[in-house]
Chain A
Amino acid sequence: MLTPPTIWEHAALLGHSRRDFLKFCSWLAAAAGLESSQVGQVVHALETKPRLPVVWFHFQECTCCSESFIRSSHPIVSDVILDKISLDYSETLQAAAGHQAHAALHDTMTKYKGQYLMLVEGSIPTGADGAYCCIGGRTALDICQEAAEGAKAIIGWGSCASNGCIQAAKPNPTGATPIHKLITGKPIIKVPGCPPIGEVMAATVVHLLAFDTIPKLDRVGRPLAFYSRRVHDTCYRRPNYDAGLFVESWDDDNARKGYCLYKMGCRGPSTYNACAVTGWNGGTSFPIRSGHGCIGCSEENFWDNGPFYNRLTNFPGFGIESTADRVGLAAAAVTAVGIGAHVALTAARKGGVIGEQERDAKEP
């Protein structure tokens, strides 16, 4: 067993001062949403723990998660990835390629069996025996199962790994499957979003790094610190919603005034994410602040819950553009016609019975 240098030792080797190290620890604590009293715990963890070996897999994905991660401004991602964790395998970010890359992966998986953190970006195709996604001649499923075997924990990056995302949309031609349906017996943290917020991704890694525990998760396995509240509940336009002030069309005065985008199909009320709190691109903005409704990218089936610009989603089984209200109104019309027909039928068929009863009742 190798005894790699601890994170502090490694930082000292790189010439960082103790002061820098402590500053960094406070920073990590803040990013992971901890109280200042817990900074000591973070310092202790980083002084005693070796760098966390990490392998990062890319399956059916678009790399937007990686792009988001490397744009995380808090904590600066290069600090997290390149210094404090040891990113031993990542098709996108590593320098090595081909056989060297596979050798690095193999090394980590054997040397640090049971200790490494496995990050999965992308869903796994199960159709055609997994032929839709192969790396180095092996299927994504095969690679994922082998790596999961020795992983300490698994993080599913983005909606692909968490829910299947766009490639799992109906009719899901490749049989794209989120990892929690294929891997069992390992803790899996889902960090959904298309992409997830870079700071949220970094903070999730930081939590694992600093505490060596799985952060508190919600029912579907997302870290509660970032996914416990709806975008709607943290949205700065929420007062407009409560006051009933809605944007009615994209070019109206209400849109200019920044009213609530609820009627324009905003998915904020059914989406759990931290967009309205952390913002994107270093807190610059988030979709609603930029005038566009939330599309619910961190929710399951968001691609099938369309159209994005309607409040009511399509009603399944009634073809495109059929909302529950249209189906309901059609059913109400049919019911009204049915009742009308029944009234006519009653008059025709039971008029005699009714008349007879009335005559009976009139008799002394």
Chain B
Amino acid sequence: MAKHIFRRVYLWEWPVRIYHWVTALAVVALAATGLMIGAPVAVMSTREAYAGYWFGTVRFVHFAAAYIFFFALVLRVYWLFVGNSHARWSAFIPVGRFGSYFRDMWAVIRTDVLQLQKPPLDFVGHNPLAATTYACIFLLSAFQIATGFALYAPMSAAWLPGLFAWVSPLMGGDAGVRLWHHAGTWAFVLFTVVHVYLVLYHDVVESRGELSSMVGGSRFVEHPVEHR
């Protein structure tokens, strides 16, 4: 029976982890309040309108979480340029290595999705399928920010939302922006479900500390030298 020697490798620097958890909390808040803004629950009340503000509060939480989501993304985008090799933009856009990147992506699909291949793969950092998905999530985040602030701009005198007011005419007015912003919410919901499932899957199948790596920053990689 082969003994496995594992080495601890540091992958996720603190800004990546901060980004991850702040965004995770913000997305939960944004999706929950966002879907509620789309379809408010029926609260029967005999009170006059001036005595209540719960829907206004739901919207306030949505807007506050949106700002947090935005600034977390700003930090992450900065870290795309100064972070380590797992955090850099080149981890997500495989310039100069497209051939091996797509071959590896196919291997990931064969092993982890279709499960045609039994022994697990190990990529230090993101595997190509995950990296591409996260690149899409960065773009989706930017899309949600642009459409969300475009919807927010007309009721705000703040400078930041106003920067996105140009989005509205491109999408045929606020109604179009609203529709796509709503669709984006569902994309986030679906991503979150699959993302959490796959992290659990990897931890169950491979037990390399996938889940805790986003807390402590490091996980375990099998040492190349096998000992008797």
A341 to B225 CA separation, bound complex (whole angstroms) = 36
- In the complex, the answer to whether A315 meets B52 with C-beta atoms within 8 Å is no
A363 to B1 CA separation, bound complex (whole angstroms) = 9
- In the complex, the answer to whether B49 meets A233 with C-beta atoms within 8 Å is no
**Chain B residues whose CB sits within 8 angstroms of the CB of A342 once the complex forms:** 113, 197, 201
- In the complex, the answer to whether A300 meets B172 with C-beta atoms within 8 Å is yes
Q: Is A143 an interface residue (CB 8 A)?
A: no
Question: A197-229 vs B: 1/0 string, CB under 8 Å?
Answer: 000000000000000000000011000000011
Q: Is A251 an interface residue (CB 8 A)?
A: no
| B22-58 at interface with A (beta carbon < 8 Å) | 35, 38-40, 42-43, 45, 47, 49-56, 58
The 8 Å CB contact of B175, one of A219, A305, A315, A336, is A305
The 8 Å CB contact of B179, one of A259, A269, A324, A350, is A324
**Chain A residues whose CB sits within 8 angstroms of the CB of B177 once the complex forms:** 270
- In the complex, the answer to whether A233 meets B155 with C-beta atoms within 8 Å is yes
**Chain A residues whose CB sits within 8 angstroms of the CB of B126 once the complex forms:** none
Q: Is B8 an interface residue (CB 8 A)?
A: no
Question: A251-268 vs B: 1/0 string, CB under 8 Å?
Answer: 000000001001100010
- In the complex where A243-B55, A305-B175 touch, is A350 in contact with B39 (Cβ < 8 A)? no
- In the complex, the answer to whether A244 meets B154 with C-beta atoms within 8 Å is no
- In the complex, the answer to whether B39 meets A325 with C-beta atoms within 8 Å is yes
A354 to B201 CA separation, bound complex (whole angstroms) = 11
**Chain B residues whose CB sits within 8 angstroms of the CB of A311 once the complex forms:** 38-39
Instruction: Say which one of A75-83, A98-106, A234-242 lies at the interface with B.
Output: A234-242
The 8 Å CB contact of B55, one of A241, A331, A346, A353, is A241
- In the complex, the answer to whether A313 meets B173 with C-beta atoms within 8 Å is no
- In the complex where A350-B118, A353-B205 touch, is A324 in contact with B183 (Cβ < 8 A)? yes
Q: Is B207 an interface residue (CB 8 A)?
A: yes
Given A324-B186, A332-B193; 15 other pairs, CB 8 A cutoff: A219-B165, A219-B168, A228-B154, A239-B50, A244-B54, A245-B43, A245-B52, A259-B49, A267-B175, A296-B173, A325-B186, A327-B186, A332-B189, A353-B205, A354-B204
- DSSP majority for the B interface? helix
A313 to B175 CA separation, bound complex (whole angstroms) = 8
**Chain B residues whose CB sits within 8 angstroms of the CB of A349 once the complex forms:** 115, 118
The 8 Å CB contact of A357, one of B39, B182, B207, is B207
Q: Which 9 A-B residue pairings sit nearest by Cβ, starting from the closest?
A: A328-B186, A244-B55, A270-B174, A243-B52, A242-B56, A239-B49, A349-B115, A243-B49, A299-B173
Chain B: residues with CB nearer than 8 A to chain A?
Answer: 1-2, 4, 35, 38-40, 42-43, 45, 47, 49-56, 58, 113, 115, 118-120, 154-155, 165-166, 168-169, 172-179, 182-183, 185-186, 189-190, 193-194, 197, 201, 204-207
**Chain B residues whose CB sits within 8 angstroms of the CB of A242 once the complex forms:** 49, 52-53, 55-56
Q: Is A35 an interface residue (CB 8 A)?
A: no
- In the complex, the answer to whether B38 meets A350 with C-beta atoms within 8 Å is no
The 8 Å CB contact of A302, one of B165, B175, B193, is B175
A267 to B54 CA separation, bound complex (whole angstroms) = 21
The 8 Å CB contact of B186, one of A243, A262, A331, A363, is A331
**Chain B residues whose CB sits within 8 angstroms of the CB of A12 once the complex forms:** none
Identify the closest chain A residue to B50 (Cβ). A239
The 8 Å CB contact of A350, one of B42, B115, B154, B168, is B115
- In the complex, the answer to whether A312 meets B182 with C-beta atoms within 8 Å is yes
User: What are 19 inter-chain pairs, A to B, with CB distance below 8 A?
Assistant: A229-B154, A230-B154, A230-B174, A233-B154, A239-B50, A243-B54, A244-B43, A245-B52, A269-B178, A270-B175, A271-B174, A296-B175, A302-B175, A324-B186, A328-B186, A331-B190, A335-B193, A346-B204, A353-B118
**Chain B residues whose CB sits within 8 angstroms of the CB of A230 once the complex forms:** 154-155, 174
- Chain B nearest CB, measured from A315 CB (Å): 7
Identify the closest chain A residue to B184 (Cβ). A324
**Chain A residues whose CB sits within 8 angstroms of the CB of B165 once the complex forms:** 219
Q: Is A40 an interface residue (CB 8 A)?
A: no
- In the complex, the answer to whether A263 meets B175 with C-beta atoms within 8 Å is no
- In the complex where A244-B55, A350-B118 touch, is A360 in contact with B49 (Cβ < 8 A)? no
Q: Is A361 an interface residue (CB 8 A)?
A: yes
- Chain A nearest CB, measured from B3 CB (Å): 8
- In the complex, the answer to whether A328 meets B183 with C-beta atoms within 8 Å is yes
| A336-364 at interface with B (beta carbon < 8 Å) | 336, 339, 342, 345-346, 349-350, 352-354, 357, 360-361, 363
- In the complex, the answer to whether B173 meets A335 with C-beta atoms within 8 Å is no
- In the complex, the answer to whether A339 meets B38 with C-beta atoms within 8 Å is no
